[in-house]
Chain A
Amino acid sequence: MVVGAGMVGAACALYAARAGLDVILVDRGPVAGGTTGAGEGNLLVSDKEPGPELQLALLSAKLWGELAQEMGAAVEYEPKGGLVVASTPASLTALAELAAGQRAAGVSAVRVGADQLHELEPYLARGLAGGVLYPQDAQVMPTLAAAHLVRASGARLQTGRTVVQVLLDTAGAVRGVRTDRGDILAPAVVNAAGTWGSEVAALAGVRLPVLPRRGFVLVTEPLPRRVRHKVYAADYVADVASDSAALQTSPVVEGTAAGPVLIGASRERVGFDRSFSLPVVRALAAGATRLFPFLEQVRAMRTYLGFRPYLPDHLPAVGPDPRVPGLFHACGHEGAGIGLATGTGHLIAQTLTGRRPELDLAPFRPDRFDRADPLDRFAEEAPPWIP
Chain B
Amino acid sequence: MTAHRPVLAVIGAGPAGLAGALAAAARGVRVVLVDSAAEAGGQFYRQPARGLGARRPQALHHQWRTWERLRTGLDTHLAAARVTHLSDRHVWCVERQSDGLTVHALIGPEQEESVAVHADGVLLATGGYEKVLPFPGWTLPGVVTAGGAQALLKGGLVLPGRTAVVAGTGPLLLPVATGLAAAGAQVVALVESAGPADFTRRARTWAGAPTKLAEGAVYAARLLRHRVAVTLRHAVLEAHGTERLESVTVAALDPEGRPVPGTERRVVCDTLAVGHGLLPHTDLAEGLGCRLDGPGVSVDDEQRTDVPGVWAAGETTGIGGSALSLAEGHIAGRSAAARLTGTVPDPREWAPAARARTGLRSFFAALDAAYAARPARWTEQVTDETVVCRCEEVTAGAVREAVGTLGAGDLRTVKLLTRAGMGWCQGRMCEPGVAGVAGCALTPARRSLARPVPLGVLAAPADPSTPQ
Contact = CB atoms under 8 A, between A and B. Distances in A.
Interface of A: 29-33, 37, 143-144, 147-148, 150-151, 157, 159-160, 218-222, 258, 260, 263, 275-276, 278, 281-282, 284-286, 288-289, 295-303
Given A31-B407, A148-B406, A159-B407, A302 B412 contact: no
Contacts of A260: 422
Contacts of B108: none
B454 A299 contact: yes
B104 to A, nearest CB: 8
A296 B454 contact: yes
Q: Contact size class for B?
A: 35 or more
Contact of A30 (B287, B410, B422, B456): B410
Interface string B439-468: 000000001110011111011110000000
Contacts of B413: 30-33, 37, 143
B285 to A, nearest CB: 12
B95 interface: yes
Contacts of B241: none
Contacts, number: 110
Given A30-B409, A143-B413, A289 B289 contact: no
Contacts of B82: none
B256 to A, nearest CB: 29
Contact of A299 (B93, B407, B453): B453
A30 B93 CA distance: 30
A149 to B, nearest CB: 11
Given A151-B406, A157-B407, A286 B459 contact: yes
Contact of B419 (A160, A258, A285, A289): A258
B308 interface: no
Interface of B: 93, 95, 104, 112, 287, 289, 392, 402, 405-410, 412-413, 416-417, 419, 422-424, 426, 447-449, 452-456, 458-461
Contact of A281 (B405, B412, B419, B458): B458
Contacts of B460: 286
Contact of B449 (A150, A157, A275, A301): A301
A278 B455 contact: no
Contacts of B419: 258
Given A278-B104, A295-B455, 8 more contacts: A30-B407, A33-B413, A37-B413, A147-B407, A281-B448, A286-B459, A288-B455, A299-B453
9 contacts: A30-B410, A33-B410, A151-B405, A281-B458, A289-B455, A289-B459, A295-B456, A297-B454, A299-B453
Contacts of A30: 407-410, 412-413
A72 B151 CA distance: 46
Nearest to B419: A258
B225 to A, nearest CB: 46
B459 A282 contact: yes
Nearest to B448: A276
B459 A300 contact: no
A295 B454 CA distance: 8
Contact of B455 (A33, A150, A296): A296
Given A159-B409, A301-B449, A296 B424 contact: no
A275 B452 CA distance: 19
Contacts of A289: 455-456, 459
